[in-house]
Structure 1
């Protein structure tokens, strides 16, 4: 949060985006260029009726970036992705109205896709699309987008045209190593999409069912039998607890607290003294979020205290930790976790449900390097300006 006192008598227009613009300082010496001078807006070229899969802002993944799911409920004007021409094509950008949602870089993987006209679709004219995608998705870029979107609510989709962003004058001002890393991050946002299941039905004799919540949560309860339960591969599953002697600064001999923010890729913000008797996780343990709908999981890189909203899984074979964390963060693990959640106001995962969480054997032997679980905005902010 930032506060500023402005004498409005010296301004002809009281546009909040313009009044608060001096508060935003880009952490770079690159020249600032108006967004509208390096992009050209695109117009929707088709319409659809309900039943057609369409990419909408609500179907984006707010943390990882990319497209989570498509909807079949949308009807109205759309963009269709073509290989070339004046219509939406690879290399163009889709900017959602909400700055907390990620900007999408259209690629060959989207050919033929239909996109809601709720997006501001633009074509980079004299700037590398990958650079512009990164600038708009980093934390500072989202802040700038947020200021302007507040100022123009209800005034149409062309609100970003006057905003200023740092743009390299020549392509050689940013080297190939940086571009390569940006390409890797952008590719990581293209995860498997969830199937857009709007409605389903099945015939069930509820007198024979012991868990109605499972029957009502999925058309295929059998997926909960596909794999080995977590309790079979863990020596212990324990939930963290509140601990005394917490500090917002690193204490001498203190232990960093692993909370849900840390599981999502952030850094520790609290430390606890060993005298506070915390639940402690060691390297090789897997940490899993106990509350919320996001499937955050992470293999502990070292000794840490376990927050009350986090489970610690002590594996019998610690080498299986990275593969298990990757599976729990992936699409299949996310879908199964949603089935087992309980609670309405604050969805939570009970210890008994986590214990029976099924994990395929192939996931435990996955030897790929662990993916970066930090939010997209944080990854880009640190890469661009470090």
Structure 2
């Protein structure tokens, strides 16, 4: 079983995801490799014993407890309080009526803007800021830099950054001043001390479920700005001494765990 957790960690780490993407591209060529022929790095027994419990905890955190699915239900909801999409998405929409909305917690919630890739720089310079995209929030490295322009959406240190596209929030706290792509929302929390708690909730299992019920689009799932502002953060999360979820994407945590040493 320990070997299975190691293999899971390797293929889901940032390096493993990059390898998988390259493998899929190679599969388009004439020489198609079989998945079971792929070689992955393998640890000695001492390293495996040291990491297996942490890998088990990380893998367990990706799954929710199973419960019986309800095929149909009826309920009443005040549509002045909760959006109709939320009211129809679950038997108990009152869960979305507790807590404090992001709009109430923030002084500003703003979307990034598309940028001309032809004008972007591929290496950092003193007069250019890193461009944060949805891929950057999921753990991919920064690959573009741009001088700040009047129309740019910039993030300051301490801002909460959220993915607009995809089923995961990939919430991150900005560690440097940067320019935001259209696939990123900037949330400026009124009380900075609460930023980590909000990020942890949105990256956790409960926050994932809340956000996922508001995502639209079957081909390219996306959460719009209006729905993002409606997400409610439980008061218990805001008063807790520690974040309820991770502050880094899973791939980045696995990358650090497996390869940092």
Q: Is the TM-score greater than 0.5?
A: yes
Gaps of 5+ in 2: none
Structure 1 residue 196 displacement after superposition: 5.0
Candidates 344, 364, 369, aligned match of 2:238: 364
Structure 1 residue 273 displacement after superposition: 0.5
Structure 1 residue 91 displacement after superposition: 3.7
The residue aligned with 2:248 is: 373
* 1:201 corresponds to 2:75: no
State the distance in 1 between where 2:115 and 2:11 align: 39
State the distance in 1 between where 2:85 and 2:40 align: 49
* 1:324 corresponds to 2:198: yes
Tell me, yes or no, if the aligned pair for 1:200 and 1:219 is still in contact at 8 Å: no
Which SS does the other structure have where 2:202 is aligned? helix
* 1:254 corresponds to 2:128: yes
Higher relative contact order (CA 8 A, sep 6+): 2
State the distance in 2 between where 1:315 and 1:377 align: 24
Aligned length: 247
* 1:292 corresponds to 2:166: yes
Tell me, yes or no, if the aligned pair for 1:284 and 1:299 is still in contact at 8 Å: yes
Structure 1 residue 166 displacement after superposition: 4.7
State the distance in 2 between where 1:163 and 1:291 align: 31
- The aligned runs of 1:177-256 (5 Å cut-off) are 180=50, 183-191=53-61, 192-193=63-64, 195=66, 198-204=69-75, 211-243=83-115, 245-256=119-130
Tell me, yes or no, if the aligned pair for 2:122 and 2:143 is still in contact at 8 Å: yes
Structure 1 residue 180 displacement after superposition: 4.3
Q: After superposition, what is the alpha-carbon deviation per residue over 1:291-347, rounded to whole angstroms, capped at 9, x for unaligned?
A: 221222111112111211111011111111111101001111111111222233322
- Bigger radius of gyration, 1 or 2? 1
The residue aligned with 2:157 is: 283
Gaps of 5+ in 1: 1-89, 94-104, 106-129, 153-158
Tell me, yes or no, if the aligned pair for 2:124 and 2:145 is still in contact at 8 Å: yes
Which SS does the other structure have where 2:60 is aligned? coil
